[in-house]
């Protein structure tokens, strides 16, 4: 008999966790011989929902409808797979598996360790998350003053995202004035470090014909959101200290973009490199997409993006911005998620400007043996090693072990043999 598995997650939202949930679903559907799939969709913050209707969406809608009826009848599940932050992990079956983007700081909230320990196992998207979560411990007092000691007891596994390929990409009509443009893809918020990215670009290239394309929003891709983002952008530009008649340009891309449109952006002729200097990433999906699309990457060598920006020999395949680990700011503290005393990576201004300049010079001068010129080779390595098929297999191996797979296959063969006898 197939395993009845309940997938809980925001797979219909335009969010990082939404993409994570969709990858989980694609992995499960790659082995429909093993799983009878049920879906409980979640919302995710203020992010918008996917409205496109295609065959995959119709399949999901039918699975959701099936799940509602089954759960109302209190039907049991063999496995639950929960795509969310650990705070929201709960018991749905005798084998509950958490699947989280993990941690973007140096420290885990005690409740994360507690909730992870309640899971049969937990899957994360990067070695950074695995290392921080595995080492987590808490020694202190509860609300009544009694001593509390909490250590991790959960098995963690790492599965990166796969590359995506497309039969065709749309022709994006971007009205870019200059031939050389950096790209950054990030929401406005404390963690992504967009204000400094923009300010440092402006200051470094003030009098040069260079552009920075910003794909960004705050939450929902609505007109009010666009207005707020535009106001934020104008404030950053005004406070950068550059002259109003500067030669460098800033472009804002706001609104929903399909996967095909995003990948068309990465390979657009006038987009030459990605600059991404966040304080921390669970994985850094847009950076990964840019990397396997062949764009040179300017980033910090800390947190989730290290899984693909470095190779297995710890050789860097990006323009490595120097950084310091400092406390997260008070406005970013989120009780139970972002701890007050945890740390982020803070890019150094001089180094960020230096690496943007180095990347620009390498590309414009076609410098031999440069990181920029080797970016296509690195893209090919990522495409070869992180195929959908291989990543689906890795993911399934974290859900059900070989002994269970063999038992299911033997059972299925037994049923076929019985049918032959009939």
Pair (198, 347) in one structural domain: yes
Cα angle 175, 225, 222 (rounded to 5 degrees) comes to 80
Position 359 scores a pLDDT of: 98
Position 229 scores a pLDDT of: 86
Position 228 scores a pLDDT of: 84
Instruction: In whole angstroms, give the CA distance from residue 345 to residue 230.
Output: 27
Q: What percent of the chain has pLDDT over 70?
A: 96
- In the DSSP assignment, the letter for residue 174 is -
Pair (308, 360) in one structural domain: yes
Pair (234, 373) in one structural domain: yes
Longest Cα–Cα distance in the chain = 85
pLDDT band at 246 (very low <50, low <70, confident <90, very high): very high
pLDDT band at 53 (very low <50, low <70, confident <90, very high): confident
Pair (137, 213) in one structural domain: no
pLDDT band at 257 (very low <50, low <70, confident <90, very high): confident
Whether residue 422 lies inside any domain: the answer is no
Whether residue 131 lies inside any domain: the answer is yes
Whether residue 339 lies inside any domain: the answer is yes
Position 330 scores a pLDDT of: 92
Position 220 scores a pLDDT of: 65
For residues 48 and 290, which has the higher predicted lDDT (pLDDT)? 290
Whether residue 169 lies inside any domain: the answer is no
Does the reported pTM lie above 0.85? yes
| pLDDT at 49 exceeding the cut of 80 | no
pLDDT band at 208 (very low <50, low <70, confident <90, very high): very high
Whether residue 51 lies inside any domain: the answer is yes
Whether residue 331 lies inside any domain: the answer is yes
Instruction: In whole angstroms, give the CA distance from residue 113 to residue 89.
Output: 11
| pLDDT at 231 exceeding the cut of 80 | yes
For residues 420 and 150, which has the higher predicted lDDT (pLDDT)? 150
Pair (267, 326) in one structural domain: yes
Pair (398, 312) in one structural domain: no
Q: What is the pLDDT of residues 285-316, one digit of tens each?
A: 999 999 999 999 999 999 999 999 999 999 99
Residue 82: give the domain boundaries: 3-159+388-414
**Out of 136-140, 226-230, 252-256, 407-411, least confident range:** 407-411
Q: What is the pLDDT of residues 370-381, one digit of tens each?
A: 999 999 999 999
For residues 96 and 139, which has the higher predicted lDDT (pLDDT)? 96
Whether residue 419 lies inside any domain: the answer is no
Position 421 scores a pLDDT of: 62
Pair (151, 199) in one structural domain: no
Pair (397, 369) in one structural domain: no
Whether residue 373 lies inside any domain: the answer is yes
Strand 137-141 and strand 147-151: pairing?
Answer: antiparallel
| pLDDT at 221 exceeding the cut of 70 | no
Residue-wise over 296-320: b if at least 16 C-beta within 10 A, else e? bbbbbbbbbbbbbbeeeeeeebbbb
Q: What percent of the chain has pLDDT over 90?
A: 80
pLDDT band at 226 (very low <50, low <70, confident <90, very high): confident
Pair (47, 145) in one structural domain: yes
Q: How many domains does the chain have?
A: 2
If one counts every other C-beta atom within 10 angstroms of the C-beta of residue 387, the result is 14
Q: Read off the CATH number of the domain in which 197 is found.
A: 3.40.50.2000
pLDDT band at 422 (very low <50, low <70, confident <90, very high): low
Instruction: In whole angstroms, give the CA distance from residue 109 to residue 87.
Output: 9
pLDDT band at 200 (very low <50, low <70, confident <90, very high): very high
Pair (19, 146) in one structural domain: yes
Position 416 scores a pLDDT of: 59
Q: Read off the CATH number of the domain in which 80 is found.
A: 3.40.50
Pair (223, 335) in one structural domain: yes
Pair (123, 262) in one structural domain: no
If one counts every other C-beta atom within 10 angstroms of the C-beta of residue 108, the result is 25
Report yes or no: 162 and 388 within 8 Å, Cβ to Cβ: yes
Instruction: In whole angstroms, give the CA distance from residue 160 to residue 125.
Output: 5
Residue range 117-141: average pLDDT? 95
| pLDDT at 219 exceeding the cut of 70 | no
| pLDDT at 197 exceeding the cut of 80 | yes
**Out of 36-45, 46-55, 298-307, least confident range:** 46-55
Residue range 12-39: average pLDDT? 95
For residues 141 and 280, which has the higher predicted lDDT (pLDDT)? 280
3-state DSSP assignment of residue 319: strand
Report yes or no: 160 and 283 within 8 Å, Cβ to Cβ: yes
Residue range 248-277: average pLDDT? 95
Position 145 scores a pLDDT of: 84
């Amino acid at each position: 008999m197939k395993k009845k598995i309940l997938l809980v997650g925001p797979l219909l939202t335009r969010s990082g966790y939404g993409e994570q949930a969709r990858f989980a679903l694609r992995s499960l559907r790659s082995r429909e011989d093993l799983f009878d799939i049920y879906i409980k969709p979640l919302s995710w913050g203020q992010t918008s929902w996917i409205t496109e209707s295609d065959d995959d969406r119709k399949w999901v809608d039918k699975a959701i409808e099936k799940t509602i009826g089954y759960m109302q009848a209190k039907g049991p599940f063999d496995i639950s797979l929960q795509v969310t932050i650990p705070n929201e992990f709960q018991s749905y079956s005798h084998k509950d598996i958490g699947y989280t983007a993990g941690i973007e700081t140096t420290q885990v909230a005690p409740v994360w360790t507690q909730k992870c320990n309640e899971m049969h196992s937990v899957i994360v998207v990067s070695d950074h998350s695995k290392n921080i979560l595995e080492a987590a411990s808490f020694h202190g007092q509860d609300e009544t003053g009694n001593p509390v000691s909490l250590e991790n007891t959960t098995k963690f596994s790492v599965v990166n995202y796969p590359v995506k390929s497309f039969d065709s990409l749309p022709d994006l009509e971007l009205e870019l004035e200059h031939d050389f443009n950096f790209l950054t893809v990030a929401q406005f918020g404390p963690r992504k470090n967009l204000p400094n990215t923009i300010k440092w670009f402006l200051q470094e290239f003030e009098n040069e014909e260079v552009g920075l394309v910003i794909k960004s929003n705050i939450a929902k891709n609505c007109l009010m959101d666009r207005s707020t983002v535009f106001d934020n952008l104008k404030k950053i530009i005004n406070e950068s200290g550059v002259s109003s008649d500067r030669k460098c340009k800033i472009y804002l891309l706001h609104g929903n973009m399909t996967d095909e449109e995003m990948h068309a952006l990465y390979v657009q002729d006038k987009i030459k490199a990605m600059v991404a200097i966040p304080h921390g990433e669970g994985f850094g999906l847009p950076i990964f997409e840019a990397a396997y699309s062949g764009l040179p990457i300017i980033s910090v060598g800390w947190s989730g993006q290290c899984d693909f920006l470095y190779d297995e020999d710890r050789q860097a395949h990006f323009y490595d911005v120097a950084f310091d680990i400092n406390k997260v700011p008070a406005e970013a503290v989120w009780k139970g998620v972002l701890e007050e005393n945890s740390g982020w990576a803070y890019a150094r201004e001089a180094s960020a400007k230096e690496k943007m300049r180095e990347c620009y010079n390498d590309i414009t001068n076609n410098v031999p043996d440069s990181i920029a010129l080797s970016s296509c080779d690195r893209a090919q390595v990522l495409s070869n090693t992180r195929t959908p098929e291989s990543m689906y297999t890795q993911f399934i191996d974290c859900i059900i072990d070989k002994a269970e797979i063999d038992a299911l296959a033997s059972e299925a063969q037994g049923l076929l043999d019985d049918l032959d006898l009939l």
